[in-house]
Amino acid sequence: MTTEKRQPVKKLRDGLLESAIWKNPTEKGHFYSATINNSYVDDNEQFHSSNNYSDTELLQLSRLANKTYDAIVELRQADKAAKAS
């Protein structure tokens, strides 16, 4: 049995911050959710992901959250248009 790794339907990036939009199926259809992560490199030059943000990244986080919300609205509108046709 193979398990297929679920992929986000869309990714947005602002510097080292990245949002991923996920389409989640339910019995009544689906809904969208999002994750926002902060990437960083440690002393051994290994990449890591975190959900902690410095004071200087908060405005960047806010702007990325707004763009992510707008992208979800567009995805919903596309879903409604596809359902109507």
pLDDT digits (tens, 9 = 90+) for 45-69: 998 999 999 998 999 999 999 999 9
pTM for the whole structure:
0.85
Exposure string of 18-42, with b = 16+ CB inside 10 Å and e = fewer, is: bbbbbbeeeeeeeebebebbbeeee
Q: Are 37 and 50 in contact (CB under 8 A)?
A: yes
Q: Flag whether pLDDT at 73 surpasses 80.
A: yes
Q: Are 23 and 34 in contact (CB under 8 A)?
A: no
Q: Flag whether pLDDT at 1 surpasses 60.
A: no
Domain boundaries, the chain: 10-79
Q: Are 72 and 20 in contact (CB under 8 A)?
A: no
